[in-house]
Each structure stands twice: as C-alpha cells, then as structure tokens.
Amino acid sequence: MAGLAFYMLVRTMIASHGKDSTIATAIGRDAKGLACLAGYTVAIALAFINLMVSFALYVVIALIWFIPDTRIEKTISR
C-alpha cells in the first residue's frame, strides 16, 4: 500500500508541476518504483501459493529501498 501511495504521490506531483519540471526530471521513468510495485503485486499473488516465497520477495523489496535514491538530490544540486 505504501508503494502504491508513493507512486501516486509522485505522479500527482509531476502532473501538477508539469513534465518539464525539476521533480519530473529528477524522477524520470522511476524504474525502481515500478519494479517494486510489480514485485508487491507478484508477492500478493504468491501468498496464496507459497507463503515463504512471497515473504522472501517482500524482504528483497525492502532491501532494495535501503539503497539510497539520490536522483532528487543530484538534480537539485545542479
């Protein structure tokens, strides 16, 4: 749910500020966010088949977010 909320927040901010805004430039295609949303969707579906695989996927997604995302800081500092 938090991943979906974050994705919606980012898309709303880009729509509000325009496609050529600083935030739109910083976020770009947001591959990390889209991959996590897809991972969450797969994990929910897998929970009905194999709970441990679903749990492992959630852990992998959580670990991905420990890697800092510096896109916004790099864009603003330019």
DSSP annotation of 69 = -
Q: Give the tens place of pLDDT for each residue, 50-59.
A: 999 999 999 9
What span, in angstroms and rounded, lies between the C-alpha atoms of 30 and 24?
10
Question: CB–CB of 48/33 below 8 Å?
Answer: no
Containing H/E element for 21? none
| Position 44 pLDDT exceeds 90 | yes
Q: What residues does each domain of the chain span?
A: 2-77
Confidence of residue 2 (pLDDT cuts 50, 70, 90): confident
- pTM value is 0.75
